[in-house]
Structure 1
């Protein structure tokens, strides 16, 4: 204070010659206002940039840009793309996550189950992919992913969902990683194969307002981060594509939805040694990922429809006389002005609520009396949904439905493995971009499902290894969201070796156990 007083007195002498007490007080007040305004301006700048800017070392290597930072919201290491010469640059870097989302922690995201499902892209993707003891060689990798964060699919009667932006805003574009991603997408626009079913489709979210079920910017970033993680594990560590990458080494399949197509593009952008869309052939598929070449029959399966009807009838009993659910429905109905029987299903309600929570829309839905959906309501609904999922997972008819549904896909995975072993294919990596309705039955069939609705941008990975110096010694490793679940997989229990399973057990599982020795055509066209 003494130094401050002396400084102000010196200003008085410069401008007025002398200061009386009132003038001194007025100058102090003015000085305080100016300092406060400056601090507030700095605070706003820091909030808009996500955090206090940090110096990060960016090393360009071919078209890769390695960015390291010590921000806990962003993680220890981020890989970013750039088309540039080899050089080392020091520049200020703002973390991605805080660019995409507000800095403060949303109350909804403070609920662990909500945070788990939203899978907000604030941290580097991590996992046990590509980990094997010495003496093994990685031969082939196949990945099934769920699309990233999307806008809601459902809505409440007479209630509009929040208007969400499906476009990177200017603050996000100032982030180095996002700017590089958008630049690469613009470079590759209209470079799809003219014969592709995805020709002229948007490569990334860029609409001002989202339509129903459209991928959002954060959904792209989830898979960009996944792709970087896989690049580190498979491309840099294992040299999966050898010394020279070719587009024919990658097999990509997506369902015919923009959210799955754009998710696959985001993943490939950061995963591949180079991203040139005209080198890639992205195929379309149904939600079942059935390929007639691998089931040796038509993919049409009437038995699946009958099984699904059986599951629907049997699962209706799960929540009958569930007073806890009824109380929750009554509360939600009061907010939306609807009777409990007018509400959509639990899954549909959660889909709407996650549109708010995952995108940090405030407040959660409210009525004219300011009675709102609270985070505890969503947490309670999640608990009921997870309980329902556990019961469904234990339902024999649902297990059978999942097995018949995913057998064609697993038959394709096995065939790709065998072709790789015999050197009869150039494909080293396969990416399948699907939905929760793909991930869940696949996890159920493998015996690794815990009943939880798969979080956004979930992944199931199949790795094929060979033992160096040993002929015909091949092993399979299965990972779910980065965790090695091979010891828990139904085909490998009691047969685990170094966290892997001999290929013969996976082969027997796919060819004999799933369909109990019958063919897909026989199962599909007979009464079950």
Structure 2
């Protein structure tokens, strides 16, 4: 029989263990809350950001009522694209028996300093010089800095030749690329190098200027982003063999920029956006509260586009700015982000933006198709092309392709077009096929031109003629016309 003293000892031991468990649970809870508060970990699962390849298995959908409401915190982290993990991608992962002929990549520039400043607040203190020992960094960052110093050997269009090849201000200038932005595109280039150079040998050693095509708008952030990706793709490339082209217009429309109807559709879309914002009572209260805190009229704050500056604070883990009467709060930032997401949903439902996007994207898509046709005819002078652009460039291309539900272009977003040929043993080769990838994910069968293709057929890739027909004719269907010229110069019936 157990004595009274032994029972008391067992009870004390059990009580001590219970207290210890409570203390450990409290410590873990405090650590988790602190990390989320300091923006060190996202509050939504990061697994959703991993690119998923096409599955050949039939997926049986699980019945549900409404899709979950998007989380503004997760969407903000996704937009930042913080380079804190290994980049993955399905580029170059074609089926056996197919040969890669051509790759064309459009990117959005990397992380940048804000384009707008919140009145009567301190600008975020960010260093835009490059330092390999400062985070975030990359193993090739030091070599990249040294290689850019030899850039005078390259062939530059005049506008681009006058721009700095590296961000170089200890206190960032408006719109300047940050070290984070450089690292993002070094990683992009490294990801593409592993598949296009190591696996497919798409480019020969020491490619010529024609084989390696780089085109950028006249902003330092796009030029520097393109050079960073190019260095990740081809470390220590030969400057003497590189020609860098300047694109005057953000839509990359070349000689097809004259399109009056495109401007009308854009004006209609902007009016829709304005009406949606004006009807949002929560947004108006948020603007009023923020304006009161920083001591400016509400109209002045709204014109200053505060979400642009606040996203910079969020992405870099900085405290939100303060004014004479208070500070911008996390809740106010999330209210602005929520309205951005609501605008994207409304834009998709109304369809006004699609009409603008079709006309905005057609010249670039037409150039893409023409370059693929040349590669299909056996010309090997242009196997890889890189276009360094902006969110307002990438977004209409996504929408025109039927990828309107894709995430809005984050910093260092990449959109890839691949052309493949089926190789027949002992024969001249089979048909041509196209793949489209966005941020490493194969989205080909979500596009308008290949959504109906049977992936279980003998052709596991999308036929190239689908894409060609879409660019030359089908994409004008929603505009009730049959050509780009007609769509641009007369109203759709």
Same fold flag (TM > 0.5): yes
Which deviations, in whole Å up to 9, do the C-alpha atoms of 1:461-504 show, x marking residues without a partner?
A: 10111111174501111011111111111110121446631011
Q: Which has the larger strand fraction?
A: 1
| 1:341 matched residue in structure 2 | 299
1:368 to 297, 305, 324: 324
* Residue 212 (str. 1) matches residue 174 (str. 2): yes
Does 2:81 correspond to 1:119?
yes
Q: Helix, strand or coil for the counterpart of 2:420?
A: strand
Which structure has the greater CA radius of gyration?
1
- Measure, in 2, the Cα distance between the counterparts of 1:527 and 1:478: 31
Match in the other structure for 1:527: 491
The whole-number CA distance in structure 2 between the counterparts of 1:182 and 1:244 is 20
What is aligned with 1:106? 38
What is aligned with 2:336?
A: 381
Structure 1 segment 279-294 matched on structure 2, within 5 A: 279-285=241-247, 286-292=249-255
- How far has the Cα of 1:107 moved from its partner? 2.7
Partner Cα separation in structure 2 for residue 452 and residue 471 of structure 1? 37
Q: Give the C-alpha shift of residue 345 in structure 1.
A: 5.5
1:151 aligned onto 2:106: no
Name 1:48's counterpart in structure 2. Answer: none
Gaps of 5+ in 1: 1-102, 293-297
Corresponding position of 1:192: 154
Residues 208, 242 of structure 2: 8 Å contact kept? no
- The alpha-carbon deviation at position 422 of structure 1 amounts to 0.3
What SS does structure 1 have at the residue aligned with 2:194?
helix
Equivalent of residue 316 in structure 2, options 341, 345, 359: 359
The alignment status of 1:135 with 2:91, answered yes or no, reads no
1:118-171 CA-to-partner distances (Å, cap 9, x unmatched) read 111222221111111111111100011000011100122333422322102473
Which 4+ stretches in 1 moved above 6 angstroms? none
Deviation at 1:269, TM superposition (A): 0.6
Is 1:404 the counterpart of 2:359? The answer is yes
SS in 1 for 2:133: helix
Which structure is higher in RCO with an 8 Å CA cutoff and minimum separation 6? 2
Gaps of 5+ in 2: 1-34, 43-72
Aligned to 1:303: 261
Work out whether residues 201 and 258 of structure 1, in 8 Å CA contact, stay in contact via their aligned partners in 2. yes
Structure 2 residue 461 is matched with structure 1 residue 500: yes
Aligned 8 A contact 2:111 2:180 in 1: yes
Paired residue for 2:282, among 305, 310, 324? 324
C-alpha distance 289-156 of structure 1, shift in aligned 2 (>3 A) = same
Shift of 1:332: 1.9
**Secondary structure of residue in 1 paired with 2:79:** helix
| Residues 204 and 266 in structure 1, CA contact (< 8 A), matched pair in contact too | no
Instruction: Count how many residue pairs are aligned between Structure 1 and Structure 2.
Output: 417
Contact 2:209 2:242 in 1 (8 A): yes
Cα offset, 1:192, TM superposition: 2.9
TM-score computed with the length of structure 1 as normaliser:
0.74
